[in-house]
Structure 1
Amino acid sequence: MKRAIVHMDMDTFFVSCERLQNRELKGIPLIIGGGDRGVVASCSYEARKFGVRSAMPMRMALRLCPDAKVVKGDYELYSRLSHLVTEVIQERVPVVEKASIDEFYLDLSGMDKFFGCYQWTKEISAAVTKETGLPISFALSTNKTVSKIGTGESKPVGKLEIKESEIKPFLNPLSVKKIPMVGDKTFQLLSRIGIRTIQTLSEVPVLVLQQMIGVNGKELWKKANGIDENPVVPYSERKSISTERTFSTDTMDLLELKRLISGMAEKLAYQLRQEKWLTSTIVIKIRYANFDTETKQHRVAYTSADHTLSRIALELFNKVYTRRMRLRLVGLRFTDLVHGNHQMNLFEDTEEQMNLYQTMDYLKNRFGADAVGRASGFDFGK
């Protein structure tokens, strides 16, 4: 059976959400991001014409486009609309993978016998726009890599079908940067030896690529040749990660309890980043000495940043711990997970914070998860 894989991506999702709330923002250069030391989370096509790009330092973006309107970003709005889009798609598609806050993979394999896959995909995208007011692009092909690249080439509000016989002609002239796993460093490495198009990359022997970039060489060669066997992984809102601590002696030492919660948040956030997850719901759990158990939760924009998760966890603890009674257990859980990278939480991050996470994760990967951490999460009494 031939595979039919669709990639759907919301067009400038954060910008579109803001324009849905405020029609005066339509048609003008718009940047979503933090303050002067922050970075661009998203920008409108009008701003992109000036060279503004996501993850660019705000100061640089405003130098390129000084007349742009800057909006900090609304966590709750983006999460709420993302969940609404997810519901619209899940109602109509048997197998859906939510790859990030604003993109989805759909497996329509075998559906041609009932209804043309391309026509069905068009109707799904139309339903998303009708029910949410948000624009969406898609591409249909035989695998995830080709459909994702196709979506990028079809934007804005694009609709593209790349049949099996058309994959190589479609991919060949494109820059190797269009392949999802090719970052700046890999692109620079390939460029230095004259590999700039996907066609040139596809003709390089696998062993040569493995010698150049390591174990990912074979996977890169396969993608350049339009080969990708990765399945669409059904999305589930129920996935979560958690940790809890039962005390040997009941306690009401607030300083120690908050230190513990901060440390829990940092370790869980590191796990999220390592496994490429983002969470949108934080749940704090406490159990009093008399075994009464209480929980409180809060929704946020999808993130894996421990400075955000730790702050909210502590706020929840302050709200849920209302009795002057000793505690026997404290727990923390992150749920409503989707696959994605930390770049989706750029609203309040500075360049320094982004660099800090990269450095801390590198040290943890090399020397162990407990090798480095925030002072608030360490137990100096040990």
Structure 2
Amino acid sequence: MRIVGHLDMDAFFAAIEERENPSLRGLPIVVGADPRGGKGRGVVSTANYKAREYGIHSALPISKAWRLSEAAKRQGRPPARFLPVRMERYAEVSAHVMETLRRFVFLVEPASIDEAYFDLSSCESYRLAEEVCRKMKCAIGDEEHLTASVGIGPNKLVAKIASGLRKPDGLTVVREGEVASFLAPLPVRTIPGIGPKTEAELARVGVKTVKDMRSFSQQELRGMFGKRGGDLYEKVRGRDESPVEETYEAKSVGEQETFEQDTGDSSFLTERLRAMSEDVMRRATAEGFTHFRTVVLTVRFADFETKSRSHTLSVPTNSLAVLQREAMNLLAPFLDDRENPLGKLIRLIGVRVEKLEQFGVHPQALLIE
């Protein structure tokens, strides 16, 4: 019998801030860019559940989050507290949480800084798997003073969906024979890989729930979504054969910055890129990553057109100088007509490293929430 668990920390960044600053307890908390009185240009990284009551959520423009907070304030509700991202601290707490997981289960696959899959098959029953997860959640609460939501299912797909249904501090068990009925009433957006555009396409043909989507054949879904349609056909039926793998490889460690004013100033852009590269190396080193091979640069223009370019080195390196050099080489074409023939101003740049390596330490993936 295969049994898989998925742990998802609740509003992780905001929960850490509230834990470490008692004066924040009970208040709506937003972790992300500086709102600058509604003129900030970044996004929300995490919002706690109080802030979510205002409509504030991850990836929301920080300026809109500020306006929602101000609207709540006018209604006599407490305004949100806006806090900067402290990624190194969050990564440190994440490492502690993963260590706690490994005391209860043998095989753990970190999926991001605040979530992980783990194999519960050795429990040989869902009853015992649930008991193990309850003890795991209690240990995280006692040791870290944080809550986590856990899903248990016959595969990674079902476990992940289950972990998100009863947040915060939830525990949802879906046995193998219950998968079809569990998924049927859920909105299609619940299925990983279905974003707002796909959701809108499906809504146009009257598909709103997983059950609705099951009425399409595999061929029909391939016709609608190409190769991805075959994958969606399997997912809406709760099928997933992907293994839980301890040798998880972090996809990337990166930083990005949205500028207060759109700019074409090459000196300013190169200075910010150098500083971001230093931050990336600091974060990677803090997580025990020793080498990288790929450098990726992202540029977003003032009209929101976004382009990414990358370069993979012939051999891995841990050199900041190499990272900065490669990042500059990737940026240069955006400062002339090779990548920017219309001379558009730049709104955002980001740099990240991929193909990460580490020795003697379990990888902990870093994602900006």
TM-score normalised per structure 2: 0.69
Match of 1:359 among 291, 294, 307: 307
Offset of residue 373 of structure 1: 2.4
Instruction: Determine the structure 2 residue equivalent to 1:61.
Output: 65
Rounded Cα–Cα distance in structure 2 between residues aligned with 1:123 and 1:177: 31
Offset of residue 173 of structure 1: 0.6
Rounded Cα–Cα distance in structure 2 between residues aligned with 1:12 and 1:354: 32
Match of 1:229 among 241, 263, 268: 241
Instruction: Determine the structure 2 residue equivalent to 1:77.
Output: 89
TM-score normalised per structure 1: 0.67
Determine if the alignment matches structure 1 residue 43 to structure 2 residue 42. Answer: no
Offset of residue 77 of structure 1: 1.3
Determine if the alignment matches structure 1 residue 168 to structure 2 residue 180. Answer: yes
Q: List aligned pairs for 1:194-205, cutoff 5 A.
A: 194-205=206-217
Higher-Rg structure is: 1
Rounded Cα–Cα distance in structure 2 between residues aligned with 1:84 and 1:333: 17
Offset of residue 111 of structure 1: 2.0
**Deviations, residues 166-219 of structure 1 (Å, cap 9, x unaligned):** 111111111000011111111111111111101111221011111111111111
Instruction: Determine the structure 1 residue equivalent to 2:26.
Output: 27
Instruction: Determine the structure 1 residue equivalent to 2:275.
Output: 311
Instruction: Determine the structure 2 residue equivalent to 1:218.
Output: 230
Would the aligned equivalents of 1:137 and 1:158 in 2 still touch at CA under 8 Å? yes
**Compared CA separation, residues 353 and 335, structure 1 to 2 (3 A):** farther
Match of 1:86 among 86, 98, 102: 98
CA RMSD of aligned residues (A): 3.5
Rounded Cα–Cα distance in structure 2 between residues aligned with 1:54 and 1:312: 22
Instruction: Determine the structure 2 residue equivalent to 1:277.
Output: 251
Rounded Cα–Cα distance in structure 1 between residues aligned with 2:238 and 2:280: 47
Offset of residue 229 of structure 1: 0.7
Query: Deviating runs (4+, > 6 A) in structure 1?
Result: 306-309, 332-335, 349-354
Rounded Cα–Cα distance in structure 2 between residues aligned with 1:65 and 1:335: 34
3-state SS of the aligned residue for 1:359?
strand
Offset of residue 58 of structure 1: 0.8
Would the aligned equivalents of 1:278 and 1:304 in 2 still touch at CA under 8 Å? no
Once the two structures are aligned, what percentage of the paired residues are identical? 31
Would the aligned equivalents of 1:8 and 1:136 in 2 still touch at CA under 8 Å? yes
**Deviations, residues 318-349 of structure 1 (Å, cap 9, x unaligned):** x9xxxxxxxxxxxx999746xxxxxxxxxxx9
Rounded Cα–Cα distance in structure 2 between residues aligned with 1:151 and 1:199: 20
Rounded Cα–Cα distance in structure 1 between residues aligned with 2:181 and 2:122: 25
Q: Structure 1: where are the runs of 5+ without partners?
A: 240-275, 280-302, 320-331, 338-348
Q: Structure 2: where are the runs of 5+ without partners?
A: 35-39, 71-78, 258-269, 290-297, 312-325, 336-369
Rounded Cα–Cα distance in structure 2 between residues aligned with 1:9 and 1:353: 35
User: For this pair of structures, how many residues does the alignment match?
Assistant: 286
Would the aligned equivalents of 2:256 and 2:276 in 1 still touch at CA under 8 Å? no
Amino acid at match of 2:23: E
Instruction: Determine the structure 1 residue equivalent to 2:367.
Output: none
Match of 1:187 among 196, 199, 207: 199
